[in-house]
Structure 1
Amino acid sequence: MTQRLSFRLRPLASLKAALAALLALTLVACQSTELTTAGLLPYARVGAATATPGVAEVRGESTLVLDFASGRTLYEDAADGLRYPASLTKMMTLYLLFETIEAGRLSMSSELRVSENAASQPPSKLGLKAGETIRVADAAQAIAVKSANDVATVIAENLGGSEADFANAMTAKARALGMSRTRFVNASGLPDEGQISTARDMATLGRALLNRFPAYASLFTRTGFDYNGRHYNATNKLLGSVEGVDGLKTGYIRDAGFHLAATATRRGRRIIVVVMGGRTGRERNARVEALIDQYLGPASGAVAGLPGLSLTR
């Protein structure tokens, strides 16, 4: 009898094992559409780099011009000096968002939850309310065009479980991209002495972002967007006003000064220009425009003879 009972239980045990395996697979599949407090980034809490590269110079000025296709340096001035990246940080926030979409864990139509912490972030922001949701497509556009701090935190918390874990993932990705002098502690670039980078690292990031995810490049070309009945203008004022400018990201906090990472194409050649530490937005923009003219030639109909800029290598 005992032997017969044991024989009858074996198929039941196998059935239970099969059901357990099926349940596990179902839970894994659900991660692509359901957000949890654990976050969606598998590497967000494992082995992230945490060393601080050093102390940033307050309003330190840095400039770098790269040939976009080859990555060759065309011009540099203090390109490795430590700086506060301000909202140039959001390029990495978007990089990890696009990577998550590419991995199938999110889609552009997925909804991201807004926490009280995210809703409380200071401007620039969309004014999201705790408890509501925002589509990934709208969140990406708000970051690229409006540089919304509340949206950056929404992305960080939904993908990383917490903004601190997401920042660790950002730093780990920076190391993987060769950004050796960068450390992130938040997803927005809001003031923090631990948030450190350089013009060279930001150029590396901007180039990697557009090379890896060309399908989303149009997000950075728009001069404005509409959300919830309001229109928001792009923070990058060179879009639509300087020939060939097709991205990328602005940044400002008091201790950083005015930053701009810009891409531009003329006559079939593309460059990326990073200017950090401008005293005003207008001065920063003029500097970037002069560099574009210097290395791509003057815009059609522009007056020739702009001051030259010496090469360093």
Structure 2
Amino acid sequence: MFKSARRILTAILSATLVAGLLTPSIAAAQIPYLQLPAQSPKYAAIVVDANTGEVLYAKSADSPRFPASITKVMTLYLTFEALSEGRIHASDMITVSARAAAQAPTKLGLRPGEQISVDDAMRAIAVKSANDMAVALAEYLGGSEERFAALMTLRGQELGMTNTRYVNASGLPDNRQISSARDIAILSRAVMRDFPQYYSYFSIRSFTFRGQTMTNHNHLLGQMPGVDGLKTGFTSASGFNLAASATRDGKRLIAVVLGGSSVAGRDNHMEDLLDTGFDVMARRDRGETITVAQSLFEGPPQGGPVYRPTTEQGDSDQEGIQIVLADNPAAPGGSMAPIADPPAPLRAVAPKKTAPPKKKPAGEWGIQVGAFKDKGQARAELGRFKKRFDNLLDDAEGQVADKVGGYFRVQFDGMTADAARNACKTLKAKRQVCMVLAP
């Protein structure tokens, strides 16, 4: 069915437009209905021109979804960043902690106290999707997986991933860890743009460690011409996910499919999207003004997906969450009902003291050192920074900014431009994420 459908992908032209991207004079290539896409509440997809960033096709691209092991693309992004800055080296040896060794499969299976090189850990993540190695790298780079996850979220925000929050480095169970097809495409584009020297890790088809050879879960590598990455993901809750990139005739596309019902269904649908995307680009080169259609044929609308925690176990990287259909008038069009943040921790009330007079700000610049969904966590991070970097930030005023885009941002204001830049340079050297805030 899928192969025959692929032969007629561009046979039907429609006047359907990609919202916000094209004028009414542009026609669209319509994708026939396949079994995978629109009726599943887990489904989302996007196709992007990697060179220009143009969205050629999008379906539920901003709707929250469970990324599963595609999470590890960000884990490797931060590892590539550390390598490129010389903070770590591929030959460095990582000691596996008890926490890392205890991660659920899929994993490499090292025992607590055993060591592995950064290079082998990255290969195990890219090929086998090893959860234990993701945690080992997170602890090596961030001191703890929790701290590393905060850095992942902050870096995602800086890249423009507005619908993403990370709480672990692997994609294993936590109902707070969500992303979207668009955000995953943004990350995929960023990793090949920012670290082309390391992108080949996503192209490795097999990896041998201690005599055991493992093959990549991305079956399109070597099967579909031009595909050279990136990452698969699966849990019962997320369905079968895939972020893929391919080149053809000097052009590169990035595509993301989330919520597939099977490996074959997901992979065939990915091929359909990439084939159609490349066909559209070739037609444009011949002077046609077409794009991939915005919508697939859909059945009647169903209730929006509601995310609820479960205790089911057993999948290779089990998310521990299920998506159930429910009548949800507050979430039309398949959007997700808001997830309540955990309550802020209780704090003892200290006696009031007379506040000292405020210093006159030295400047209008500032820095941002964290972004958190929970205000209590943001306040705790602010206190930690003040205590640890008191001398560096002595003249700056620390605060937790008002919630914007779902996040409370930890900031230090009232700095000169040079002070802000120097502070970020020093903090990054100490493996602290920092972003300069211009007035």
User: What is the TM-score of this pair, normalised by structure 1?
Assistant: 0.76
| Aligned mate of 1:242, from 224, 227, 251 | 224
Matched, 1:310 2:293: yes
The correspondence of residues 149-160 of structure 1 with structure 2, limited to 5 A, is 149-160=131-142
In the alignment, the residues of structure 1 paired with residue 261 and residue 44 of structure 2 have an alpha-carbon distance, to the nearest angstrom, of 12
Select the structure that is richer in helix: 1
| Aligned mate of 2:209, from 227, 230, 239 | 227
| Aligned mate of 1:213, from 195, 200, 204 | 195
- Tell me the matched-pair count: 246
User: Following TM superposition, by how much is the alpha carbon of 1:220 offset from its aligned partner in structure 2, in angstroms?
Assistant: 1.1
Cα deviation digits, residues 106-138 of structure 1 (max 9, x gap): 001001110011001111111111101110111
The correspondence of residues 184-203 of structure 1 with structure 2, limited to 5 A, is 184-203=166-185
| Aligned mate of 1:117, from 99, 102, 121 | 99
In the alignment, the residues of structure 2 paired with residue 231 and residue 131 of structure 1 have an alpha-carbon distance, to the nearest angstrom, of 23
Match of 1:71 in 2: 53
User: Following TM superposition, by how much is the alpha carbon of 1:297 offset from its aligned partner in structure 2, in angstroms?
Assistant: 3.4
Cα deviation digits, residues 164-222 of structure 1 (max 9, x gap): 11100000101110101100000000121000100000000011011100011211112
In the alignment, the residues of structure 2 paired with residue 211 and residue 142 of structure 1 have an alpha-carbon distance, to the nearest angstrom, of 23
The correspondence of residues 235-274 of structure 1 with structure 2, limited to 5 A, is 235-274=217-256
The correspondence of residues 89-108 of structure 1 with structure 2, limited to 5 A, is 89-108=71-90
- Mapped contact 1:84–1:255 kept (Cα < 8 A): yes
In the alignment, the residues of structure 2 paired with residue 161 and residue 220 of structure 1 have an alpha-carbon distance, to the nearest angstrom, of 25
Change in 2 beyond 3 A, CA 1:310/1:152: same
- Mapped contact 1:59–1:257 kept (Cα < 8 A): no
| 1:215 match: secondary structure | coil
Q: For 1:204, give the aligned amino acid.
A: I
| Aligned mate of 2:165, from 183, 205, 219 | 183
Structure 1 segments of 4 or more deviating over 4 A? Answer: none
Q: For 2:293, give the aligned amino acid.
A: S
Matched, 1:164 2:146: yes
User: Following TM superposition, by how much is the alpha carbon of 1:105 offset from its aligned partner in structure 2, in angstroms?
Assistant: 1.2
Matched, 1:126 2:88: no
| 2:113 match: secondary structure | coil
- Mapped contact 2:95–2:114 kept (Cα < 8 A): yes
- Mapped contact 1:59–1:255 kept (Cα < 8 A): no
User: Following TM superposition, by how much is the alpha carbon of 1:311 offset from its aligned partner in structure 2, in angstroms?
Assistant: 3.7
| 1:255 match: secondary structure | coil
Cα deviation digits, residues 249-273 of structure 1 (max 9, x gap): 0001111111000000111111000
User: Following TM superposition, by how much is the alpha carbon of 1:248 offset from its aligned partner in structure 2, in angstroms?
Assistant: 0.4
| Aligned mate of 1:279, from 256, 261, 272 | 261
| 2:229 match: secondary structure | strand
| 2:197 match: secondary structure | helix
Change in 2 beyond 3 A, CA 1:291/1:191: same
| 1:260 match: secondary structure | strand
| 1:70 match: secondary structure | coil
Select the structure that is richer in strand: 2
- Mapped contact 2:277–2:292 kept (Cα < 8 A): no
| 2:223 match: secondary structure | coil
